[in-house]
Amino acid sequence: MNKTILDTNILIRFFTNDNKVMANKVESLFKSAKKNELVIPDVIVAEIVLVLESFYELPKNEIIEKIELLLLFNKFEINRRIIQETLDNYKEYSISYTDAYLLAFAKVQYSNTNIYSFDKGLQKVYKKVIEPS
C-alpha cells in the first residue's frame, strides 16, 4: 500500500473549513483513503496546534478535541501513543504543546528518562528534569 504524508495546511483546511473548496477536497481525500494510508508526522501535529493557537486563536480544549479526532480516524498513520500522552500532559499542566510532547517522549519512548532543561515550568511537572551543571 502506498503511504501519503499530509501537510499541516491540509488538516487546517479540514479543521477550520475557512476555504470551502479546499475543505471539500480534503474531505474527499479522507473519504477515499484506505486504512493507515495518510501519514501525519509528529511535527505536523505540533504545527497544527501552533497555527490553531496563534492564528485562529482557538482555546486549548478545542484544539485538543480536534487532535483527538485524528487519533480516532483509522485512515491516519499517526504516533497515537505519544500524541495521546502529549494531549494528556497538555490538558493537565500549564505548559506548551512542545513541552507536553517532550514530557510524553521522555515517559513513553524512553520509560521516564531524564530531560535536561532550564525550563522551570517543565521542572515543576516532571521530577526528572535536570539542569546541566
- Residue found by looking up cell 483509522 in the block: 74
Mind listing the pLDDT tens digit of every residue in the chain (133 residues)?
699 999 999 999 999 999 999 999 999 999 999 999 999 999 999 999 999 999 999 999 999 999 999 999 999 999 999 999 999 999 999 999 999 999 999 999 999 899 999 999 999 999 999 999 9
The string of DSSP letters for 26-88 reads HHHHHHHPPTT-EEE-HHHHHHHHHHHHHTS---HHHHHHHHHHHHH-TTEEE-HHHHHHHHH
Contact yes or no for 102/80 (Cβ under 8 A): no
Q: Model's pTM, two decimal places?
A: 0.92
